Amino acid sequence: MSRGFLIGCDDVNATRRLVIYSGQGAFSLGHGVEAMGLLDAVKLLRTEEPR
């Protein structure tokens, strides 16, 4: 994971670190970052409570 991505997440106080890709499924990229397919991300965002 790039240093800039991690710094940006910290700057905006991100509660979750997601990288969206065109495939399916989800997996860890390390450093608290998850890779997730677009459809999985949409489903996740629809079910999560706003913060």
pTM of the prediction? 0.75
For residue 25, give every residue at least 6 positions away whose Cβ sits within 8 Å of its Cβ, in sequence order, or none.
Answer: 36, 37, 40
Beta-bridged to residue 37, according to DSSP, are 21
Output phi, psi for 42, to 5 deg.
-65, -45
pLDDT tens readout for residues 2-48: 999 999 999 999 999 999 999 999 999 998 999 999 999 999 889 98
CA–CA–CA angle 24, 28, 32 (5° rounding): 135
Q: What is the pLDDT of residue 30?
A: 93
